[in-house]
Structure formats: C-alpha cells, structure tokens
Structure 1
C-alpha cells in the first residue's frame, strides 16, 4: 500500500493518479490543476472544441473536460505524457478532424504534448 503524502489517501499502486481533495467541477478548475505546459495545450484544445462544437455544453465527466449535447460527445485530458482526445461518436471524429485540419493544420488524436509536434 502507498499513502500520498500531500492528501493522506492510500492506494494499492505507488504514485496512483488521483485528485487530492475533491474532483474538479468545471473545465477551468480541471485545467488549472495541470502543469503549465499542459494547461496551455489544454486551453488550445478547449478553444478548438468550442469552435467546432458551438452548440455543445461544457462539463466534467469521468473527471475529464467533456462536451455533450444530449449525450457525451467528446472528452479530453492530459495524463502524464500526452494529451488524450476521447470521442464518443465516429461522425464527430471526422467532423472535428476535418475542421482542425482546415483551420489549424492539426488533426487530433493522442499527440505528444505540444500539439504542433
């Protein structure tokens, strides 16, 4: 067993990923808890998704920033070494990829940290 010194929670695995304290309740709160380099990239991802999905609602699901419209459309997150984009709809994936390539020259998916890579 491993106990996180910062919050005192105990886990089976050492260095278990978790939130000390409560889970984030807003996308801003979720992003603000990440390291600076990840925050910049997550804000960029958020801007892209806001533009691509103007009618979707923002929220938190599975402790990740999420966009939904009647159901979860897409989640994104920054684990330790990459930015993850987790779509829930194949048609949406195609629309966002096309929009990103057209607008930004970036096609999405799990990219190394630094979306310009």
Structure 2
C-alpha cells in the first residue's frame, strides 16, 4: 500500500479521528502563537513550521504525538521532558495523558530565539 502524500497541515489533520485531530489542531495553534512569523509546511510527510529553517515538526501515531524540536530543543528542556519517552530530537506525548501545551509553546519560543540569533 502506498503512503498518502500530504500537501498541507490541514489535510494531514483531517485524516485523523476527531479526538486526535483536536489535539493536533491545539498543537498547531500553540506553534502559530509562539512563532507568528513561521511558515506552515509539510516536511518528511509531517506537519512542520519553518522560520529560516525548520523550527519543529509534529505527527500523530497510534498511541502518542511525536513532537520534534531537534536536538537543541530537547537539550534545553531536558528536565521538563524527562517524564516522556525521548530520542535525540524527539519527544513522545502519550495520547492517554494530558498534552503539555504550555511546554510546547516554550520549546517553540526557544527554537525561534535560537534561529534568530
């Protein structure tokens, strides 16, 4: 089976059940508020926001939301993200727990500051 190629974040979110789509839309809004000059795009077939370069990516999976703040975003917030499963530049927010929207905003603001320096 061929993987669907998304053309927009709106199209990506529309493919998920309502409960997951609601979370994805809230994450999108957090990013828009924290990075008002960022451009929405699809990169690696995932929603992404760019400002000079990619700030963050996010994606929905069966049991979690993947949030990709690149290694620098994870390093800067090591303590705050320690309760989540992480990779070098990824954080997994379980769908059966509250999504930390305020933390997402802080990470995005950090990435904006970092890119503008």
TM-score bin, normalised by smaller chain: 0.5 to 0.7
Larger-gyration structure (1/2): 1
Runs (4+) off by over 4 Å: 91-95
CA spacing shift, 1:47–1:93, aligned 2, 3 Å? farther
1:1-117 residue pairs with structure 2 within 5 A? 9=1, 18-19=3-4, 23-88=5-70, 90=72, 94=76, 109-113=91-95, 116=98
Runs of 5+ unmatched residues, structure 2: 81-90, 100-117
Name the TM-score, length of structure 1 as normaliser.
Answer: 0.64
Query: Structure 1 unaligned runs (5+)?
Result: 1-8, 11-17, 99-108
RMSD across aligned positions (CA): 2.8
Return the offset for 1:88.
Answer: 2.8
Partner of 2:31: helix, strand, or coil?
helix
What TM-score results when the alignment is normalised by the length of structure 2? 0.64
Once the two structures are TM-superposed, the CA of residue 114 in structure 1 deviates from its matched residue by 5.1
Q: Is residue 59–residue 66 contact of structure 1 (8 Å, CA) maintained in 2?
A: yes
